[in-house]
Amino acid sequence: MGLRDKASKIDFASLLAPAGAVPSEPKGPKTAPGAMMAHANDARSELLRENEELRGRAARTTELEAELAEAVSDLRGWDGAKPVRSLDPAQVGRSRFANRHASSYLGDDFERLKREIMEAGGNVQPIKVRPGKGGEEAAYEIVFGHRRHEACRQLGLPVLAVVDNLDDRTLFVEMDRENRERAELSPWEQGVMYLKALDQGLFSSNRQLATALGIDPSNLGKSLALAKLPDDVVAAFATPLDIQLRWAPLLNKALEEDQPGLVRRAAEMEAHRGPRGPKAVLAYLVTPPNASDAAIIEPQTLMANGKKAATLRFDAVGRAALHVHRPLSAVQQSALRQMAEDFVKSL
């Protein structure tokens, strides 16, 4: 068959795609090596995409690790910190080991503390409390900071407090340490606190107590001696806060040698207190005058022509002081001196 005959049998219409016909999918490689190359290219593209994604995740992970390390460092700075709360003073009660005398909340020092707290809008330095034991007790019990708590209570302000769970012994040690560091407690108050701890069995002996608190056993013994003084002897002073640690041996000796006499003199001193300082009270208590001179003489006002001319005073042990309120002439001064010399010679 010639070419002309073959061409006449070809259907050229079928070679033209009808209008709107979808072109057929491109055919894949016809050979096995071609197919393998196409698959390898596709896999490489997928690996490149996954690699970029992993790099992004790694960069974000590094950032998160840095943020975590910074947060952990900040948290370590607060390691051991206790929560601070603003409490209603009415919810906070005194500790059963509290040793504050009522006079601690009087006077210029306490008024100055109240003024500082009022101006600051509250106590800047928190007190420390522990949760109460329930029942009729307050919601919180003071560990230390009784004066700050009382100041806030009187001012009607919330009290800022650190809350911690402590047993009795730890509470006692922290209370004592805080008080000694702040130098606020008098020796008598300290002794009362130590005596409570021993009576309630927190420590088995004076030595164990002194070791736990890191204090001198001798000073502990003196504080305890002051705390054991009869109430009448303590009341002879204007306030127990006036009683000094170094006076403990003198008062203890007087107590051992003549307790009835010491108590009697203390009662006399309390009944006729007058303007006497704590040293004069001590002198009267430990150095009693002769029995015939035991009565305490109040200051005497001496009159002349109906006007106050002089005042005669005696201290706790009977020493006299005469104050003449009028100017004296040379003759009067000489006469007074002669009278004084004659009286002294008669002693």
In this prediction, residue 226 carries a pLDDT of 93
Provide the mean pLDDT of the chain.
Answer: 79
Q: Which has more confidence, 15 or 233?
A: 233
Cβ 113 vs Cβ 148: under 8 Å = yes
DSSP summary character for residue 31: S
HSE on the CB side for 37, CA within 13 Å? 7
Pair of tokens at residue 63: 């950032």
For range 260-277, the mean pLDDT: 81
pLDDT tens digits, 58-72: 777 777 777 777 766
Looking at 45-49, 83-87, 121-125, which range is the least confident one? Answer: 45-49
Q: What is the pLDDT of residues 313-343, one digit of tens each?
A: 876 556 778 888 888 888 888 888 888 888 8
Residue 157 confidence class, pLDDT cut points 50, 70, 90: very high
Angle, helix 168-182 to helix 187-199, in steps of 10 degrees: 170
**109 in helix, strand or coil?**
helix
If residue 321 lies in a helix (H) or strand (E), which one and from where to where? Answer: strand 320-324
| pLDDT over threshold 90, residue 294 | no
Which of the four CATH numbers 3.90.1530.10, 1.10.10.10, 3.40.50.300, 3.40.50.2300 does domain 82-185 have?
3.90.1530.10
- The answer, yes or no, to whether residue 176 has pLDDT greater than 90, is no
Distances (CA, A) of 70 to 57, 59, 62, 64, 253: 20, 17, 13, 10, 65
Q: How confident is the model at residue 293 (pLDDT cuts 50, 70, 90)?
A: very low
Calpha distance 127→117 (Å, rounded): 13
**Does residue 346 or residue 187 have the better pLDDT?**
187
Specify the domain boundaries for CATH 3.90.1530.10 within the chain: 82-185
* pLDDT greater than 90 at residue 101: no
Question: What pLDDT shows up at residue 214?
Answer: 86
